[in-house]
Amino acid sequence: MKEFKHFINGQYVASASGKTFENRSPVDNSLLGKTYEAGREEVDAAVKAAKAALKGPWGKLTQVERTKLLNKVADRINERFEEFLEAECLDTGKPRSIAAHIDIPRGAANFKAFTETSANLPTEGFRMDTPDGKGAMNFGHRTPKGVIAVVAPWNLPLLLMTWKVGPALACGNTVVVKPSEETPMTTTLLGEVMNECGVPPGVFNVVHGFGPDSAGEFLTTHPDVDAITFTGETRTGEAIMKAAAVGLRNISLECGGKNPSIVFADCDIEKAVEGTMRSAFVNCGQVCLGTERVYVERPIFDQFLARMKEEVAKLKLGRPEDEQANFGPLVSQEHRSKVKYYYDLAVEEGAKVEIGGGIPDMGAALNDGAWIEPTIWTGLADDARVMREEIFGPCCHIRPFDSEDEVIALANDTDYGLAAAIWTENSARAVRVAEQMEAGIVWVNAWFLRDLRTSFGGAKQSGIGREGGVHGMEFYTEMKNICIKL
């Protein structure tokens, strides 16, 4: 039986209480291992180690030395690619082809991209006049913020954890990571890589467990944590924001979405179908940037819907290692119950189920897994709960529209504001509509096309703050003004 332990001060440790919880496969519900649940004692040890490491050899590294070390981490993840891939697929059930293309390479890239940004981060300087005529010089100086708590979700476990750990370490901080209870494996494995690369003990720490009254809460309420970066549900973000209020710790919150996709009649319809298929169904719909509301201009509505149904019918459900499969299970039985609840609610609320809507028969070997059918609805009212609440499953509602103004209002009529996609060959319209989207990220004729130098984050209830490029550097450093009287 595999055991997933905490990684504290460079060593793997069990919980003093001996408390564990099961890690089960979403593919067939088989037992993959047991994970230790951290109590206050382990969280405290991890935070203490992280705090001490700030003053140790890590804190004395030059920018160049730190860059070399983190680049080595990226290279080592790539050298151990197969192990990371296997671990990610076991935990999430996602097809290997997806994890090999998205999760693992991006997990490694996050350690390289932000060392470059950090090394090239500009600062400011102001020469000022003084009454004695001699003047003074001001210049900005950045220091690491300190101990960063990283609280991560399960949908892209390595990618979303390193997306925070990469920039945090690039800026010279130390981290304590709380991965999702659903997906402990790749974060645990990263501890080995840190040791292999010579990252000093205490710089990267991992504590496992749940949220409330468990590792998540113990970590985010710990007084020696200097800032908290979180990705997950909006309601959890609220709890974390409350925890961070004590001691005025800074937060970065990347939360839920109910993202629209707008398909204009002048789009390249095949490109729009291909992109919308990915945005609604890749990773079994478990991508925060994914599309759950599709608006299609009326002249091409029937054609677009028919093409989407054809493509959904071609999705091939199967085990991660099945090379023909491009669609895995949801992450857990618990999450499937939530998604299935919304599938049933959609019907109650008057949706026409165009395709899917249920739980597939996967055969005896897989029927205990968290499988669900990819689903398209039409006919829902704009105020239906299914149209307003994040489902985080492989489903979307497709609705016709008649004018640009109408669709802008519809797309923005949501509590969330994470991402939007626009499909049109008219570049003036693309810019005009993109500028009016109430969202942190807008793609035109693309989806999930990522340049790590750009800002990433959500408006409204999709989050607070921006990470990526120089924006993340603001969060991960403390800016100081030094004023020198001349």
Binding flag, residue 114, ligand 6OD (CB under 6 A): no
d(CA 114, CA 476): 11
Smallest gap from Cβ 42 to ligand NAD, in A, equals 15
Strands 416-417 and 6-8: unpaired
CA–CA distance, 188 with 284 (Å, rounded to integer): 24
Q: How far is the CB of 155 from ligand 6OD (least distance, A)?
A: 5
Decide whether 9 or 234 has the Cβ nearer to ligand 6OD.
234
Q: Look up 288 and say whether it is catalytic.
A: yes
Q: Which of residues 404-433 bind ligand NAD (CB under 6 A)?
A: 418
Q: Find all residues with CB under 8 Å of 192, minimum gap 6, and list them.
A: none
Tokens 């119950």 — which residue?
A: 337
3-state SS assignment for residue 129: coil
Binds ligand NAD by CB under 6 A, chosen from 54, 69, 99, 151: 151
93 belongs to the binding site for ligand NAD (CB under 6 A) = no
Instruction: Please state the closest distance from residue 318 (CB atom) to ligand NAD, in A.
Output: 24
Residue number of the CB closest to ligand NAD reads: 211
**Positions of E strands within 37-179:** 125-128, 136-144, 147-151, 174-178
Distance CA 5, CA 134 (A): 60
Residue 153's φ and ψ, nearest 5 degrees, are -95, -175
450 contact choice in ligand 6OD, ligand NAD, none (CB below 5 to 8 Å, kind-dependent): ligand 6OD
Nearest residue to 177 (alpha-carbon basis) of 119, 258, 110? 110
Q: Which among 398, 318, 396 is positioned nearest to 362, based on CA atoms?
A: 318
CB of 56 to ligand 6OD, least distance (A): 30
Under DSSP, the state recorded for 100 is: I
User: Based on CB atoms, which residue is closest to ligand NAD, 174 or 332?
Assistant: 332
CA dihedral (52, 53, 56, 61) positive or negative: negative
Answer for which of 148, 227, 289, 305 binds ligand 6OD (CB under 6 A) is 289
Place of tokens 């509602």: 397
The count of C-alpha atoms lying within 13 angstroms of the C-alpha of 139, restricted to the half-sphere facing its C-beta, is: 6
Residue nearest to ligand 6OD (CB): 288
Report what 91 binds from ligand NAD, ligand 6OD, none; CB cut-off 5-8 Å by kind: none
Report the C-alpha gap between 174 and 168 in whole angstroms.
7
Is 150 a binding residue for ligand 6OD by CB under 6 A? The answer is no
Out of 50, 160, 206, 398, point to the residue binding ligand NAD (CB under 6 A): 160
Nearest to 257 by CA among 291, 229, 295, 296: 291
Check binding of 288 to ligand 6OD (CB under 6 A): yes
Amino acid letter for position 379: G
Residue 197 appears among annotated catalytic residues: no
21 binds ligand NAD (CB under 6 A): no
Tell me if 177 sits within 8 A of 205, measured CB to CB. yes
User: Where do we find the tokens 């160049």?
Assistant: 64
Rounded Cα distance between 415 and 388, Å, is 8
Q: Contacts with ligand NAD: how many residues (CB under 6 A)?
A: 32
Measured CA to CA, the distance from residue 418 to residue 462 in angstroms comes to: 5
Find which of ligand 6OD, ligand NAD, none residue 205 binds, CB within 5 to 8 Å per kind. Answer: none
Structure-block tokens of residue 109: 């890239």
Q: What is the DSSP letter of 99?
A: I
163 binds, among ligand 6OD, ligand NAD, none (CB under 5 to 8 A by kind): ligand 6OD
Q: Please identify which of the residues 37, 42, 181, 254 carries the catalytic annotation.
A: 254
Catalytic residue among 284, 288, 395, 396: 288
- Is residue 390 a contact partner of residue 416, using CB atoms and an 8 Å limit? yes
Alpha-carbon distance of 115 to 137, in angstroms, equals: 28
Q: Which is nearer to ligand 6OD, 43 or 160 (CB)?
A: 160
Q: Which of 23, 92, 231, 332 binds ligand NAD (CB under 6 A)?
A: 231
Q: Which does 275 bind (CB under 5 to 8 A by kind): ligand NAD, ligand 6OD, none?
A: none
Segment interacting with ligand NAD, rule: CB under 6 A, options 39-47, 152-160, 167-175, 424-432: 152-160
Which of residues 273 and 386 has its CB atom nearest to ligand NAD in the complex?
386
CA gap 374, 106 in Å, rounded: 26
Q: Minimum distance between the CB of residue 126 and ligand 6OD, rounded to whole angstroms?
A: 34
Q: Does 178 bind ligand NAD (CB under 6 A)?
A: yes
Q: Is 148 in the site for ligand NAD (CB under 6 A)?
A: no
Choose from ligand 6OD, ligand NAD, none: what does 274 bind? Cβ within 5-8 Å by kind.
none
Pairing status of strand 31-36 against strand 20-24: antiparallel
Please identify, using beta-carbon distances, which residue of 153 and 394 lies nearer to ligand NAD.
153
Catalytic residues, by residue number, are 254, 288
In the complex, which residues of this chain contact ligand NAD (CB under 6 A)? 151-155, 160, 178, 180-181, 210-212, 216-217, 220, 231-233, 236, 239-240, 254-257, 288, 390, 392, 418, 458, 462-463
In the complex, which residues of this chain contact ligand 6OD (CB under 6 A)? 155-156, 160, 163, 287-289, 450, 456
